[in-house]
Structure 1
Amino acid sequence: MARKTVVTGSEQQAPEPEPVRKSPEFSIDNPELDDDLRPQSLKEVIGQRKVIERVRIMLEAAQTRGDALGHLLLEGPPGLGKTTLAMVLPKELGSDFQITSGPTLRAPKDLLPYLTRASEKSVLFIDEIHRLPPAVEEFIYPAMEDFRVDIALGDGLNARTVNMSLKPFTIVGATTRSGMLTAPLRDRFVNRAHFDFYEHDDLTTLLIRNARKLRTELTEDAAQEIATRSRGTPRKANNLLRWTRDFAQVRQKAGPISGDVAREALAMIEIDAIGLEEMDRRYLMTLITVFTGGPAGIQAIGHSMNVPPDTLEDEVEPFLLRQGFIQRTPRGRMVTAAAWEHLKIPPLK
């Protein structure tokens, strides 16, 4: 049963939703869009081919029927384009768009303005939806299923319930930790899409296109250098692109950014050929020099590095695990032979 929200005169006024975002069409000659690297239509989205193809079918089917798009859950690691895709959908539908995030919706009254202002076939994007409080999550159930909300007015013997109908709209939720979603919320999304890390070729294409948006130019060699060090993440690739552009503007002066300049720029911020950063190497060297390669507990490693253990778990270990440089065992973390080889250190006998 959906939990009811009580609205009384003593409660604070609910915050106004963010205004609907309407982005102008991209033009290489429009200076206002120099730093707007997000695609403006579905055909401009690079990578995630399986996800884009399924979304294209959903959009075409909904537009053919004249219905609102089914609720969509986007899941996957950060920086892979979930928010980008969510912002493209209303442009394809020609509808309004509202955006909020799970942590900001502390009570049902915080969500209510977004629901009541949702126009027909509009899109409401909730980022980090796994962080919705239980009361807000239960309040959103009838809105997703029946496009209605139950509002309790007053208190005590004078309380009464008002059933408010909503216009058919679409909720797009994004989460980096889908395992934290409750089953009732997850099952109310009729469509789900999982984002994977990007291939180097897709990142190379993305970088060359975004370089033009930043009014610069990359050689193929430079784009590949940045792509291979971007950990398969477009957000990381764009950040490195901006740094390389700034570096080239000072050191190269003119002409397309060459591979040599890109390598020199990335070396200055201590990112190696496969994307390892200074903190990653510190982690590996601590395991090797202090714990002779492991096993070692994350708390012990964190204390040795003077870094919070949760920072290591969330920001350092995922990429090292993907590269096969460490193992998580019941006894603790261990360095693999691949890490010794990459760091050019002979394994201990």
Structure 2
Amino acid sequence: MDDSIFHENSPEKQPEEIAMEASIRPQTFADYIGQAELKTELQVYISAALARDESLDHVLIYGPPGLGKTTLSTVIANEMHVNIQTTSGPAIEKTGDLLVLLNELEPGDILFIDEIHRLPRQVEEMLYSAMEDFQVDIIIGQDEGAHPVHFPLPPFTLIGATTRPGALSAPLRHRFGIVSHMRYYNQEELQQVVQRTSHVFHSQILDDASLEIGRRSRGTPRIANRLFRRVRDFAQVYRQDDCIDLSITQEALNVLNVDECGLDSIDRKILQLMIQFYNGGPVGLSTIAANLSEDTTTIEDMYEPYLIQQGFLQRTPRGRIVTDKGFKHLGLTKQEDR
């Protein structure tokens, strides 16, 4: 099985994955695993807003894919006892689309925009006055009959989520009063995620098996849940047993080409490419992407962060470099320069 289980050419989630995530999604902070510091901060802001009977300040959530940004926004809405409208940057193609969404909000409601860095420019500019003054001005009519109309909005909270905070324009970024950084999960937190998911799916998994899945899940709950589902399939087919133990877990993950550090075939291809053809680098991002037939954004956003976070890869002004740890992980030795 050579294809990556972790990555797709597009970051868009599949319908099956969306349905699965909805079924296991926690609804309150009490059920939300991980991100302890972030949860503590948000609980303070939510309690203060509720005490003042005000809408929550606008929130920007950023971090790598799969850490639970959408889930966190739903939890915030539930804790605030308000409704939430969910959309994404690419889905709002024109200002009229945004106006329809804003018009459906009640006082205090939340508008959640995933991939907010992909908003069209004209839509983003309309958001400025909506966020600051809870109003927008729209043009009615055409040519000589065109005239501006003042459109008031109820107080609302915009929650924007992005994997690329640097891609946001400064005017939009500065309008968020709360900026929250989601970090990779540790193995123990991911073990809890797997155990919770197994409980929701009425499956039994032993502690060492759930820890093994957590260890190979790249610090990401979405990946932990994907791996759990695949391991559960192996246990059902090959063991005909609902109880998932360590041996079937390791067997399944090995078939899926997920190694003990959570690297899959694509991750290893990146490192192998850089070592085989460039002696570990430095190598330019565009060169790596061309060799793998991927676009640079996919490499930079979906593969690199974990490789860098785990110490297998380094960014330098001259390009990417495989570290000694990366060479050792693949069992390779760097050739001395002559």
Tell me the TM-score normalized by structure 2: 0.88
Match of 1:285 in 2: 272
CA deviations 1:231-287 (Å, max 9, x no partner) are 101111111111111111112222521111111110001000011111122222222
CA deviations 1:64-119 (Å, max 9, x no partner) are 11111111111111111110011122222222211111112122111001111111
SS, match of residue 139 in structure 2? strand
Deviation at 1:306, TM superposition (A): 4.6
Deviation at 1:161, TM superposition (A): 2.0
Deviation at 1:337, TM superposition (A): 1.3
Deviation at 1:194, TM superposition (A): 0.7
| Distance change >3 Å, CA 235–CA 184, structure 1 → 2 | same
| 1:65 counterpart letter in structure 2 | R
CA deviations 1:298-327 (Å, max 9, x no partner) are 444444445445443333332222222223
Match of 1:249 in 2: 236
Match of 2:226 in 1: 239
Equivalent of 1:83 in 48, 64, 70: 70
| 1:236 counterpart letter in structure 2 | I
SS, match of residue 345 in structure 1? coil
Q: Distance in 1 between matches of 2:129 and 2:238?
A: 59
| Distance change >3 Å, CA 55–CA 203, structure 1 → 2 | same
| 2:240 counterpart letter in structure 1 | K
Equivalent of 2:23 in 13, 29, 36: 36
Equivalent of 1:317 in 268, 292, 304: 304
| Distance change >3 Å, CA 162–CA 322, structure 1 → 2 | same
| 1:104 counterpart letter in structure 2 | A
Please say if 1:167 is aligned against 2:190: no
Please say if 1:96 is aligned against 2:83: yes
Deviation at 1:35, TM superposition (A): 6.8
Pairs within 5 Å for 1:138-177: 138-177=125-164
Equivalent of 1:110 in 97, 116, 123: 97
Bigger drift between 281-290 and 84-93 goes to 281-290
Please say if 1:184 is aligned against 2:178: no
CA deviations 1:150-170 (Å, max 9, x no partner) are 122112332222212211111
| 1:294 counterpart letter in structure 2 | G
Match of 1:276 in 2: 263
SS, match of residue 205 in structure 2? coil
| Distance change >3 Å, CA 162–CA 297, structure 1 → 2 | closer
Cα pair 1:151 1:163 within 8 Å, conserved: yes
Deviation at 1:223, TM superposition (A): 0.8
SS, match of residue 331 in structure 2? coil
Aligned residues: CA RMSD: 2.0
Equivalent of 2:313 in 326, 329, 332: 326
| Distance change >3 Å, CA 158–CA 301, structure 1 → 2 | closer
Q: Distance in 1 between matches of 2:80 and 2:26?
A: 15
Q: Distance in 2 between matches of 1:224 and 1:299?
A: 36
| 2:194 counterpart letter in structure 1 | L
Cα pair 1:127 1:175 within 8 Å, conserved: yes
What is the aligned length? 318
Cα pair 2:235 2:242 within 8 Å, conserved: no
Cα pair 1:33 1:213 within 8 Å, conserved: no
Cα pair 1:34 1:214 within 8 Å, conserved: no
| 1:348 counterpart letter in structure 2 | Q
SS, match of residue 231 in structure 1? coil
| Distance change >3 Å, CA 118–CA 267, structure 1 → 2 | same
Identity %: 43
SS, match of residue 57 in structure 2? coil
Q: Distance in 2 between matches of 1:164 and 1:288?
A: 59
SS, match of residue 44 in structure 1? coil
SS, match of residue 167 in structure 1? coil
Bigger drift between 188-197 and 296-305 goes to 296-305
Cα pair 2:89 2:115 within 8 Å, conserved: yes
Match of 1:230 in 2: 217
Q: Distance in 2 between matches of 1:97 and 1:303?
A: 41
| Distance change >3 Å, CA 168–CA 243, structure 1 → 2 | same
| Distance change >3 Å, CA 284–CA 194, structure 1 → 2 | same
SS, match of residue 204 in structure 2? coil
Deviation at 1:211, TM superposition (A): 0.7
- Residue segments in structure 1 that go unaligned for 5+ positions in a row: 1-31
Match of 2:59 in 1: 72
Q: Distance in 1 between matches of 2:326 and 2:128?
A: 47
Equivalent of 2:245 in 254, 258, 262: 258
Q: Distance in 2 between matches of 1:307 and 1:33?
A: 28
Q: Distance in 2 between matches of 1:310 and 1:73?
A: 21
- Residue segments in structure 2 that go unaligned for 5+ positions in a row: 1-18
| 1:135 counterpart letter in structure 2 | Q
